[in-house]
A and B are shown apart, each in its own frame.
Chain A
């Protein structure tokens, strides 16, 4: 009880210090493209997106206690929606075979654009689809699994199965998804006929990640966030208090899938391809690792972990082939010895001790 009232008291103040500090960091990040080359900008943009993806998982795992390996799936579904748009626009320009068909569909003997892909030719539809497809998929899955007595570990196993099944499915439907290669050689992103330069894309992504972070912060400090955290701590007690636990879970699950989908959609114009690699369990665990190392329930931790590990990986992979071994050892050490994650532990060290109500 003391904990919760403390939370409400804090919430009513506007955190000026936090706003100033994050504003300054945002401005520094915004100035980033002015000082670095296109390779660094592109890498940084990808890492920002991975950061947003990690935050979306943090909402579900760190705050609500649902460990998901399927966030790579939501990311990739959004990515495919955008990739179809970019690919179809390339095909319409007459670059391939003179017909309005992406190359991989021609190779696989398709003669006509399938009806379920055709609408993605238009930007507004693709933009909506990149959020809606993962969100609807997550909503259906969430409604199915959260409205039952399935809990904790079994949900995680279900997410593993989803990731594994979809990977197999996308690889097998070669004519529609491009199989193992995925959708490659997509066109550059252009909105309303204007090409978006790399810097523009970077700023868009920075804005998106900033919004995700700010929105998540606001969400977790709100009453809703309090309920979510309580679900993580003691699900039964919350349901005895009259809250419909399943609805809250489904809401946050769908929201987080939507965020992951947008991140995936923005990832494609940067990466210039999307493939089942991002659907697979390995990528899903990569996201989990970022959140675990950064610190569950800290929001900023997962972003920092994703960006730091990504940057280090970029250099380490040139020097050694055993970068994954280092990640594994890091994960083991964090899980066994510092379960709060790096940022969580540092925050604990500097936090003044809370007064305990007696």
Chain B
């Protein structure tokens, strides 16, 4: 009883201490700038995880709830290659793209194809798939946390501004910049593939009018398979890049799933620039609000804002007018 009272007192003191500290760090534009610069890192992750999703959702109109698990698979590919062959993280990117892409193609052939035109069923099936993938990975690698080494040459921070004492006031780690670079590169690559190749033209025509493309001789089922595999491959790359930020574990993909979806529905899937805009809006508003209030509140506000946004712009902010 007495011990309890003391404990409660201690807790109280701790609370007051925290409150004071919070009051001390009052609004400062430099700290806000730092927060926003670091928000770019979040933007990179959102872009990376949302890109694959945007492509599969845009072309096939399917809800892939197993996207997080493909991210997880990519991370495990990197883990296996790194622990067995001591490969550099950068060198594992092509492997994780190919392996997760192949698994994606297999999934499309065996499951997604049977549920064509029933988006809610695909949603359920991919949720089942996500449970299965998690379970299988847990069987093989156990639930233990695994760690992946970041490339040693991408370390340290880029300091943009130092304060009077010489310590960095606005700084961002090189690795986060690297994530942004990879994300932008993949965005550019995807955009090139979509706009400048024959296959890309077919993919775009299927996005706009599936039946008409079929009539004009586009092999839509092949397009579907390649699109899904490509989307999953991108998720794999995202997994590889993210793997060294946190630990690698079977449920790791779940953390990214909801955020990736919010990115995609915010920007819309008709244009790739929508994903970039979605990632930027969500990432930066999250960082900004988190600075003014705190992290959980920022997340709640941003998710609420996305709900309101879907209500008024269900197709996202960047849409193309089309006949349906």
Chain A residues at the B interface, C-beta cutoff of 8 Å: 67, 96-97, 106-109, 144-145, 148-154, 156-158, 160-162, 164-166, 168-169, 171-172, 281-282, 285, 288-289, 292, 321-322, 324-325, 327-332, 335-336, 339
Contacts and interface: CB of A to CB of B under 8 A. Distances in A.
Nearest to A323: B135
Contact of A148 (B125, B127, B135, B312): B312
A330 B111 CA distance: 14
9 contacts: A109-B12, A109-B16, A144-B311, A145-B307, A150-B314, A158-B307, A169-B300, A325-B134, A335-B125
B8 interface: yes
A172 B11 contact: no
B297 interface: yes
A97 B2 CA distance: 9
Interface string B1-32: 00011011001100110000000000000000
Contact of B114 (A150, A156, A281, A336): A336
A332 B306 CA distance: 30
B261 A165 contact: no
B124 A151 contact: no
A324 B63 CA distance: 21
B128 A156 contact: no
B173 interface: no
B128 A335 contact: yes
Contacts, number: 132
A148 B311 CA distance: 7
Contacts of A171: 296
A62 to B, nearest CB: 12
Shortest 8 CB-CB contacts between residues of A and residues of B: A325-B135, A328-B131, A172-B296, A331-B128, A109-B15, A165-B303, A332-B128, A328-B132
Nearest to B124: A335
Residue among A106, A107, A157, A281 having the largest count of chain B Cβ atoms under 10 Å = A157
Nearest to B308: A144
A327 B307 contact: no
Given A67-B123, A152-B120, A339-B121, A168 B128 contact: no
A140 to B, nearest CB: 12
B136 A325 contact: yes
Q: Give the bracket for the number of chain B residues in contact with chain A.
A: 35 or more
A151 to B, nearest CB: 7
Nearest to B63: A153
A288 B304 CA distance: 23
A67 B118 CA distance: 13
A322 B131 CA distance: 10
* Interface of chain A: mostly helix, strand, loop or mixed: helix
Contact of A335 (B7, B121, B265, B312): B121
B214 interface: no
A154 B315 CA distance: 9
Contact of B132 (A160, A321, A332): A332
A74 B176 CA distance: 38
B255 to A, nearest CB: 10
A258 to B, nearest CB: 21
B63 A156 contact: yes
Contact of B119 (A96, A152, A328): A152
B186 interface: no
B296 to A, nearest CB: 3
Contacts of A332: 111, 125, 128-129, 132
B258 A150 contact: no
A157 B296 contact: no
A324 B129 CA distance: 11
B299 A168 contact: yes
Contacts of B294: 172
B307 A161 contact: yes
Interface string B92-133: 000000000000000000010011000111011101111110
B310 interface: yes
B314 A151 contact: yes
Contact of B123 (A96, A149, A153, A158): A153
B216 interface: no
B262 interface: yes
Given A108-B11, A109-B12, A165-B300, 12 more contacts: A67-B120, A96-B4, A97-B4, A107-B7, A148-B314, A165-B303, A166-B300, A168-B303, A169-B300, A285-B127, A325-B132, A325-B134
Contacts of B128: 328-332, 335
A96 B7 CA distance: 13
Contacts of A292: 124
